[in-house]
Structure 1
Amino acid sequence: MQLDAKLVDARITTLDEERPTATTMGIVHGRILGFDEDIADLPARTVIDAGGAAAVPGFFDAHCHTAWFGLTLAALDLTRLPGGLPEVYRRIEEHAAGLGPSEWVNATGYAHRDYDDQYPDIEILDRISGGRPLFIRQTSGHAAIVNTEALRRAGVLEPGFEDPDGGRIVRDAAGRPTGLVEETAQELIQQLIRPYAKDEMVAAIERATRHYAGEGITSFTDAGIAAGWIGHTPVELAAYQQAADSGRLHARAELMPSIDALHPVTAHADDGITSGLDLGLRTGLGDDMVRIGPVKVFMDGALSGETAALTSNYTGRDHAGYLQAPREELRRKVLEAAAADWSLALHAIGDLAIDEAISIIAEAQRRYGRRDRPHRIEHAAVVRPEQLALLAREGIAVTPQAAFFESIGDGMAACLGPDRVPWLYRGRSFLQAGVLLAGSSDRPCAEGNPLRGMQAYAERLTRSGAVLAADEALTAEEALRAYTIGSATAAGQQADKGTLTAGKLADFVLLSEAPMDVAPDEIAGLEVLGTARGGQLYG
């Protein structure tokens, strides 16, 4: 027998308790055949000499926005410009000057906390955009900044206009729009820009996943495609398929359709299916490169914009955020999806939204049973102590993002207050309670490098140097397991991914050192020497 590839002279950490370490690994048809003595005498067509490097399972980002990230790589980037708002204005004006008179000014990366909690002045934006409509997507994704021309085209300035459910056109004391558009109200503007062309989406997917290759990411979940304010085109799945078919998809994709993509269907009365996708498509369809994941549902917004739904007010404020739709409407839509055999991924950041998400998932499981792929709560950012046992009892997976500590940790702590900071983006208490923890970034809303995410889990440092809820810190190995085994299990793909085990996909990362072999503050600085998917080194 001849191997397709053999990895040699590697310090392999398998994360498989039955065989935790090895130095050689044999690969056939993209899967692991065995280790060390099992394959020592077998020749190989290709030998990958690791030169003593550390090898760990490929990283799996369980919640990111890959197509969106790819689009940002080609957009005007306003992230943390050193010149402050004057530089923001200058760059927008220069960019707009190079556009045609009817083209949109599109930008990304703006975070008000990077600019002393200030937003651009709409009057200045109107002047520097030269009459063109302007759309700036906030880093969080839960708000956007627009100019008057964009609002006019969206009908916001018409008499009798009312904010949509789950969203808001922010206005000043005189009732004039400030240019800030929150949550579902963004879709009023986005529907003027979308759908993006399929070829443009393929290019964005290629840009993003080439970037992933340099960071050791072999699998990811794109958390919201096809519809709603999070989607880009109703044929977004086709764009991923085209990218895969043409060799332009460089990591394995799991795709979460937005629940807004589901529509009424007429099935047999005995099926109990009233909502879904055509042909009965549901979670699980696909192959090793592209598959359909859970349906994505927004329960609430974000802490950065104080739109996440809390059980008590934000510190110093007279409001507690809000749900994206009335409770009963959310419940009905989610249970209809569960009846159509969809796994559920409920975006819930505030503890009130998490209450609602747990309740709905528990009801879905009572009615329809538990699925092989667990239902999930995306982010699970503000979790009260008593909610931990409920999450564990219902077998709900969570995808918190430690990467937010550096970028907005200080702001989150300020808006929650000291009593609630210990509940923020938990780590250790999830593991102690038996809750399935998946590693994720929410990129481009936060830093997406998995090694930096692991370091953030271990350190929990904010930009100011504060440590948020030190008791929630993970060890380096626990953080690595979250980004590998945890994510694979949350995606129902633990039979193929998460550990380096005979029979599983040969997806691995070569590193200068394993994360657990260095100090926590050195994890992010580890060098990715190569990324392999199916045993083929491509980064």
Structure 2
Amino acid sequence: MAIRGRNNSEQGTTIITLIHNVCLYGHDDRVTVRLENGHITDIRPRHGSDLPVSDPAHRWIEGNGATLLPGLHDHHLHLMAYAAALDSVHCGPPAVQTEEQLAGCLRDANGQPDAGWLRGIAYHASVAGDIDRHWLDRYIPDRPVRVQHRGGRLWVLNSCALEALNLDQALNQDQAQGELPPGLERSGEQFTGRLYEGDAWLRARVPRKLPDLARASCQLARYGITGITDTTPANGLEEWRLFAAAQDRGELGQRVRMMGGPDIALCHDTEGLQRGELKVHLLESQLPELDRLCDDIAAAHARERAVAIHCVTRTELVFALAALDAAGTVSGDRIEHASVCPPEQLEEIRRLNLRVVTQPHFIEERGDHYLDEVEAEDQPWLYRAAAFLEAGVPLAGGSDTPFGDADPWRLMRAAVSRRTLQGRIIGASEALTPEQALALFLSPPQSPGLGLRHLQVGAPADLCLLKAPWAQVRTRLDANQVRITWRGGQCIFDAAAT
């Protein structure tokens, strides 16, 4: 369904919503909840309630004893990339498993009317090996194509794409060598089409079409998500303005906490858009000087800004913890992913009072490949969960979409089961209860993992109404159990309208 305007009261009409006969999450008593001017203004027992129901300005929702949750908050995603991914060709598992399937997807996409750049995402070498320009040329020789590896650090370009970017021409022009992206792979006297760490370079040269944030927002609302933390390192003033404008137009229904570079500190928080942490993206093969990272952390802290450090390998985590130990930590400093976290590093995280935002659904989505590719000594420490909670480390969940599935309910299921797509178990002792899994998305955006947001009078009306009581939903943890989502009292998803 289309996202409605942010606040009907701005148009001269105050809509009062009464949600009747529901159980607030964690409680058994049935109540009626009143929403007005973006907040919860009353909660009364179902029996004997004298809240008015006849006023035509009121919306009356019969809950039938189902559970009403605080709106879910995804603590780690990349919104612009997710929106672009919805308009891209999916090139990897589980949807695409073989070379023939990938070739068919690309041919189908090439048959669409738009003859501009074709964008593929989520490729993995298990599908067709280390593809290059020549592999892509066999299937799409007549238009520019770029396919992104699911890890996000590699793009593969076909020959038309290299030509459109003037890369082949520049290869033999000495004066142009400084213009070539440093991560462009070469084999002999020819580029392979494989470009590493080239997002910024491509963004400045590929014709840019702003993705449809409304479509992405509607999909997130379907999952019961009313808030997100965008953790894209390159976020700056341009992205801030884009998100603010999309919220003003009613195209972006979620509240946003935006991480990014230093210039975000210059932005001013609004009702729906909040400044987040300084995002540091570590890459094991290109780690910065330790002193430089310490200086960056100290500078952020001096501006009363916490840091969030991306760590997907053991080496990256050890390096990040050494820098945080040397620079000192402040409340709010956090580790993103902690994909491989042995006991020694977990203890360091606890000692430094850090928070962790993790993605246990990668155990399901990528676990079978992890068991083939990750060192055996690191496999027990993949995407830990229960151990963090047992150690008192604040833990929250984020989808990392588009690099992971955006569905938080899938993440919850994976956190409980710890099963790969082939049914193998990774880290059985790290399994969470359904309640612990849900809690990954219920903590405050500014304090991930520290307590739950509660539904109480005066709280923002960011809500998710399920179709059944929690006692039933907890046994299947399925997004299809989301009935209605409100952000600031405004309905941004209604299953009955889809």
Equivalence for 1:506: 461
Q: 1:89 to 1:476 in 2, by over 3 A?
A: same
Give, in whole Å, the separation in 1 of the partners of 2:480 and 2:201: 43
Equivalent-residue separation in structure 2 for 1:490 and 1:131 (angstroms)? 47
Task: Work out which of the residue numbers 249, 252, 257 in structure 2 matches 1:254.
Answer: 257
Q: CA deviation at 1:419?
A: 2.4
Alignment correspondent of 1:360: 323
1:145-178 Cα offsets, whole Å, 9 max, x none, are: 112444463648636869999x744456x58544
SS at match of 1:189: helix
For residues 49-93 of structure 1, what are the alpha-carbon distances to aligned partners after superposition, in whole Å with 9 as ceiling and x for unaligned? 212222212111000112211112122333445583234334434
Q: 1:37 to 1:104 in 2, by over 3 A?
A: closer
Q: Please report the RMSD computed on the Cα atoms of aligned residues, expressed in angstroms.
A: 3.2
Structure 1 residues 32 and 377: alpha-carbon distance in aligned structure 2, compared to 1, 3 A threshold: same
User: What is the alpha-carbon distance in structure 1 between the residues aligned to residue 202 and residue 130 of structure 2?
Assistant: 18
Match of 1:532 among 482, 486, 493: 486
Superposition map of 1:211-226 within 5 A: 211-224=219-232
Instruction: Describe the shift of the 1:468–1:177 C-alpha distance in structure 2 as closer, same or farther (beyond 3 A).
Output: farther
Give the letter for the 1:7 counterpart.
Answer: I
Distance in 1, Cα, partners of 2:83 & 2:440: 24
Question: How far apart, in 2, do the equivalents of 1:478 and 1:516 lie?
Answer: 14
- Letter of the structure 2 residue corresponding to residue 416 of structure 1: V
Mind listing any 5+ residue stretches in structure 2 that lack a counterpart? 1-13, 494-498
Structure-1 separation of matches of 2:299 and 2:17 = 46
In the alignment, which residue of structure 2 is the partner of 1:424?
382
Task: Answer yes or no: is the 8 Å Cα contact 1:164–1:185 preserved in 2.
Answer: no
Check if 1:23 corresponds to 2:22: no
Report how far residue 256 of structure 1 moved. Answer: 1.5
In structure 2, relative to structure 1, the CA distance for the partners of 1:450 and 1:82 (3 Å cut) is closer
CA distance in 1, matches of 2:91, 2:376: 31
Contact 1:298 1:324 in 2 (8 A): no
Aligned partners of 1:163 and 1:463: how far apart in 2? 43
1:332 is paired with a residue whose SS is: helix
Is 1:295 the counterpart of 2:278 in the alignment?
yes
The verdict on how the C-alpha distance between 1:235 and 1:290 changes in structure 2, with shifts beyond 3 A counting, is same
Provide Cα deviations, 1:363-417, integer angstroms capped at 9, x if missing partner.
4446xxx24xx11111111111022222122221111101111221111232223
The answer to whether the 8 A contact 1:451-1:526 is kept is no
Counterpart residue number, 1:181? 195
**1:267 corresponds to:** none
Residue aligned with 1:489, SS: coil
Question: Aligned pair 1:237/2:246, yes or no?
Answer: no
Matches for 1:295-374 after TM superposition, within 5 Å = 295-300=278-283, 309=284, 322-365=285-328, 370-371=330-331, 374=332
Decide whether aligned partners of structure 1 residues 344 and 457 sit closer, same or farther in structure 2, where only a CA change above 3 A counts: same
Find the counterpart in structure 1 of residue 130 from structure 2.
Answer: 119
Question: How far 1:516 sits from its partner (Å)?
Answer: 5.3
Distance across 1 between alignment mates of 2:372 and 2:178: 31
Q: Which residue of 2 aligns with 1:207?
A: 215
Q: CA deviation at 1:528?
A: 1.1
Q: Give the secondary-structure state (helix, strand or coil) at the position aligned to 2:253.
A: coil
1:272 corresponding residue in structure 2:
none
| Conserved? CA contact 2:277–2:308, under 8 Å | yes
Letter of the 1:483 partner, please give it.
F
Show the counterpart of 2:496. Answer: none
User: 2:341 is matched with which residue?
Assistant: 383
User: 1:144 is matched by which residue type in structure 2?
Assistant: W
CA 1:132 to 1:234, structure 2 compared with 1: closer, same or farther past 3 Å?
farther
Structure 1 residues 287, 253: closer, same or farther in 2, change over 3 A?
same
Q: In structure 2, what is the Cα distance between the partners aligned to 1:223 and 1:164? A: 28
Please, which of 405, 413, 424 is the counterpart of residue 447 of structure 1? 405
How far apart are the structure 1 equivalents of 2:289 and 2:273? 34
Q: 1:139 aligns with which of 127, 150, 159?
A: 150
**2:18 touches 2:34 (CA, 8 Å); kept in 1?**
yes
Give the 4+ runs in structure 1 shifted more than 6 A.
162-165
What's the offset of the Cα at 1:255?
1.4
| Contact 1:13/1:21 (<8 A) preserved | no
Q: Using the alignment, how far apart are the partners of 2:204 and 2:444 within structure 1?
A: 36
- Give the deviation of 1:343 after TM superposition: 2.0
Q: Out of 323-332 and 456-465, give the one that drifted further.
A: 323-332
Distance in 2 of aligned mates of 1:60 and 1:128 = 40
Q: Deviations over 1:254-302 (max 9, x none)?
A: 1112x3xx4xxxxxxxxxxxxx45xx516xx4223122211221012xx
Q: What does residue 50 of structure 2 align with?
A: 41
Matched residue type, 1:295: L
Question: Secondary structure in 2 aligned to 1:443?
Answer: coil
- Equivalents in 2 of 1:428, 1:486: separation in Å? 20
Query: What is the one-letter code of the residue matched to 2:250?
Result: G
Equivalent pair of 1:69/1:443 in contact (CA under 8 Å): yes
Identify if the C-alpha distance between structure 1 residues 37 and 527 changes in structure 2 by more than 3 Å, giving closer, same or farther: closer
Structure 2 residue matching 1:10: 3-state secondary structure: strand
Please tell me the residue identity of whatever aligns with 2:385. Answer: G
Please state how far the C-alpha of 1:448 moved relative to its aligned partner.
Answer: 1.5
For 1:419 and 1:41, the matched residues in 2 are separated by: 62
| Alpha-carbon shift at residue 9 of structure 1 (Å) | 0.8
Cα shift at 1:454: 0.7
* Preserved contact between residue 141 and residue 158 of structure 2 (Cα < 8 Å): no
Counterpart pick for 2:25 among 13, 32, 36: 13
1:489 to 447, 452, 455: 447
Partner AA of 1:415 in structure 2: E
Q: 1:91 to 1:519 in 2, by over 3 A?
A: closer
CA drift at 1:3: 9.5
- Equivalent-residue separation in structure 2 for 1:207 and 1:464 (angstroms): 31
Q: TM-score, normalised by structure 2?
A: 0.84
Partner of 1:313: none
Please name the residue that 1:68 is paired with.
81
With structure 1 as the length reference, what TM-score do the two structures score?
0.78
Structure 1 residues 406 and 175: CA distance shift in structure 2, 3 A: farther
How much has 1:511 moved relative to structure 2? 1.6
Q: What secondary structure does 1:454 align onto? A: helix
Answering whether residue 266 of structure 2 is matched by residue 281 of structure 1, we say yes
How has the CA–CA distance of structure 1 residues 109 and 251 changed in structure 2, closer, same or farther, with 3 Å as cutoff? Answer: same
Distance of 2:469 and 2:392 partners within structure 1? 25
Q: Secondary structure at the match of 1:107?
A: strand
Trace 1:439-478 onto structure 2 (pairs within 5 A).
439-478=397-436
2:98 paired residue number: 84
Partner of 1:312: none
Letter in 2 for 1:523: L
Deviations 1:326-351 (A, max 9, x none): 44443333433333332211111112
Structure 1 unaligned segments of length 5 or more: list them.
Answer: 263-275, 301-308, 310-321
Identical-residue share of aligned pairs (%): 25
